[in-house]
Chains A and B, each alone.
Chain A
Amino acid sequence: KNEVEQSPQNLTAQEGEFITINCSYSVGISALHWLQQHPGGGIVSLFMLSSGKKKHGRLIATINIQEKHSSLHITASHPRDSAVYICAVPSYGQNFVFGPGTRLSVLP
């Protein structure tokens, strides 16, 4: 079973700061997902990536398949970025293993 770790567990930043959230996993995968969970509980898929780097607005996700590691970066952070960020990797069948999440608070 894939083990997924994230760091940091909690992160507080000032508006405008550059933020990095890390995810590491134990078993090789085909693709990794980054998810955003808002305080109300809803989850939104941010990225699905299998190699290299993807960018969407102020969000950048990178993955190193050989090192089993992915990072999520937020440039020019804003209070509306405050959420829990979760990485997920495929498991058996169509199941996923979810990381414990990184709780981000961006202060104005």
Chain B
Amino acid sequence: SAVISQKPSRDICQRGTSLTIQCQVDSQVTMMFWYRQQPGQSLTLIATANQGSEATYESGFVIDKFPISRPNLTFSTLTVSNMSPEDSSIYLCSVQGHRSGANVLTFGAGSRLTVL
């Protein structure tokens, strides 16, 4: 299965600033997925990033707040813009492979973001 390098692993940011999270995959993948995990909660899909087209955002998430880039088939970034304390979460990127006819999930190590 794929290996994902995600950074930063954690950061503490001031309200009103923006932070960009990067994910590098060791193989080419069509789609990359960005998730948010708020404290004590499960994972929520923010958007799906396709190379060469705009990301597809889930209900409740907008491009102005979470712009995503996907310049090639191995790399993607998620920016958390104009941060507030409510954005304090773990952000994870993920890819899916196929094995035995089903999807295999691979995640980055996560970026733990604290907004003061």
Contacts and interface: CB of A to CB of B under 8 A. Distances in A.
Contacts of B107: 35, 42-45
A30 B112 contact: no
Interface string B60-100: 00000000000000000000000000000010100010011
A15 B112 CA distance: 29
Contacts of A101: 42
Nearest to A100: B42
Given A41-B90, A86-B42, A31 B109 contact: no
A42 B111 CA distance: 9
A68 B37 CA distance: 25
A21 B1 CA distance: 25
B27 interface: no
Nearest to B106: A45
How big is chain A's contact interface, by range?
20 to 34
A48 B1 CA distance: 13
Given A40-B9, A94-B48, A98-B43, A45 B90 contact: no
Q: Point out which of A42, A44, A50, A95 has the most chain B C-beta atoms below 10 A from its C-beta.
A: A42
Contact of B108 (A42, A93, A98): A42
Contacts of B33: 94-95
Interface in A34-82: 35, 40-45, 48, 50
A48 B92 contact: no
A30 B105 contact: no
Contacts of A40: 9, 109-110, 112
Contacts of B100: 48
A31 B103 contact: yes
B42 A42 contact: no
A96 interface: yes
8 contacts: A31-B102, A31-B103, A35-B107, A40-B110, A41-B112, A94-B48, A95-B48, A96-B105
The 4 closest A-B pairs by CB, nearest first: A41-B110, A31-B102, A42-B109, A43-B107
Given A93-B48, A94-B96, 17 more contacts: A30-B101, A31-B102, A41-B37, A41-B110, A41-B112, A42-B107, A43-B105, A45-B1, A48-B102, A48-B105, A50-B102, A86-B42, A86-B43, A90-B103, A94-B31, A94-B48, A100-B42
